[in-house]
Amino acid sequence: MSSQSSPYSLILTSRPEPSVSLITLNRPKALNALSTPLLLEINQALEEAENDDDIGAIILTGSEKAFAAGADIKEMKDKEFADVYKSDFLYNWTRITRIQKPIIAAVSGYALGGGCELAMMCDIILASPTATFGQPEIKLGIIPGAGGTQRLTHAIGKSRAMELILTGRNFSAKEAETWGLVSRVVDAGEGEVVKEAIKVAAIIASKGRISVQAAKEAVNAAYELSLNEGLRLERRLFHPLFATKDQKEGMAAFAEKREATFTHS
C-alpha cells in the first residue's frame, strides 16, 4: 500500500492498489466526528481522486472503533437559525454524491448520525460485524439534516426508518444487512472490511471507466425516477456505449475467450 504526502491533517490518503484511492478519517480522539474542516478535507481528497485518470474507484473508511460517530456537536451546539439558514449548513456534506467514480464505504464501529448519512451517500456499504448504525439526532432536539430521513427511508422502508429516526435507536450490522442498507457484512477481524473493500474496488477499477460511470448514473437514477423514466434513461446510457472502444474490446474479448484490456475510451 503506497501512501501519498498531502496537506491533510484530519484524513489519511493512500493508494492500496494502483487504481484505488483510500481515504481514512483520522480524528481518533473525537471518534471521527464530522466537523466542517474534516468535511472540507474529505471533499478535497474526493476531488483529487475524481480528477486522477489512474483512479477507478474510491474507498472511504474510519477506524476500527468508529467510521464516524456523528456530527461534531461542539461545532453545532451554539449555532442559531440565522447562521445555519444563511450558510445552508451541511450543504458541503453532499459533495460526495456528485462524484462520478464509485465510492465504497468500509464501515467498522460507530456510524451514527452524520456518520450513517455519510455512509449512505456512498455507492456501496461494506460492514464489519462490529458496525453500529443509527440516526440518534432526535435525542438532541433536531432531526437528521444530511439525508438521513430520505436515504434511510429509501433503503429500508418507511415504517422501519420512522421507528429508528423517532426513537433514535441504533441498529447492528446484521440488521443493516437484513434490511438491505449494506451490501454485506464481511468476516470478523481487524482491518478485514477495508481489505474486502480494496478487493471490490480493484475489481470495479479493472472495468471500463465509461461503462462504470454510466452504470452508477443509471442505478442512482432509480431512486429519483419512475420505472418508465428510469428504463428510458437506461437505454439512453446503454446506446452510446456502442460508440466506445471499450465496448468493441469487451465484446471482442468475450468472443475470443480472453480477458479484456480496457482503455477507458
| pLDDT by position in tens, the chain (length 265) | 555 556 799 999 999 999 999 999 999 999 999 999 999 999 999 999 999 999 999 999 999 999 999 888 888 788 888 888 888 887 888 889 999 999 999 999 999 999 999 999 999 999 999 999 999 999 999 999 999 999 999 999 999 999 999 999 999 999 999 999 999 999 999 999 999 999 999 999 999 999 999 999 999 999 899 999 999 999 999 999 999 999 999 999 999 999 999 999 9
Phi, psi of 87 (to 5 degrees): -90, 0
Residue 61 near residue 24 (C-beta atoms within 8 A): yes
Question: In this structure, are residues 233 and 221 in contact, taking their beta carbons and an 8 Å threshold?
Answer: yes
Instruction: Locate 3 and state its grid cell.
Output: 501512501
> Which of 69, 71, 173, 214 is labelled catalytic?
71
- Is 47 catalytic? The answer is no
The 3-class SS string of 129-177 reads CCCEEECHHHHHCCCCCCCHHHHHHHHHCHHHHHHHHHHCCCEEHHHHH
User: What is the 8-class DSSP label of residue 109?
Assistant: B
Q: Where are the beta strands (DSSP E) in 18-130?
A: 20-25, 57-61, 66-68, 103-107, 110-112, 124-127
Q: Which of 17, 137, 196, 234 is catalytic?
A: 137
Q: What is the pLDDT of residue 128?
A: 98
> Could you say which of 117, 127, 147, 218 is catalytic?
117
Q: What pLDDT is attached to residue 89?
A: 81
Which pLDDT belongs to residue 1?
A: 52
**Separation between Cα atoms, residue 208 and residue 244, nearest integer Å:** 10
The CA–CA distances, whole Å, from 5 to 8, 12, 15, 47 equal 9, 9, 11, 16
Decide if 71 is catalytic. Answer: yes
Q: What is the spatial distance between Cα 32 and Cα 26, in angstroms, rounded to a whole number?
A: 6
The reply to whether 137 belongs to the active site is: yes
191 is catalytic: no
**pLDDT at position 133:** 98
Catalytic residue among 70, 109, 114, 147: 114
The single residue listed with the C-alpha cell 484490456 is: 261
Beta bridge mates, 23: 13, 60
Q: What grid cell was written down for 210?
A: 465509461
Cell of 238: 446503454
Record the pTM.
0.93
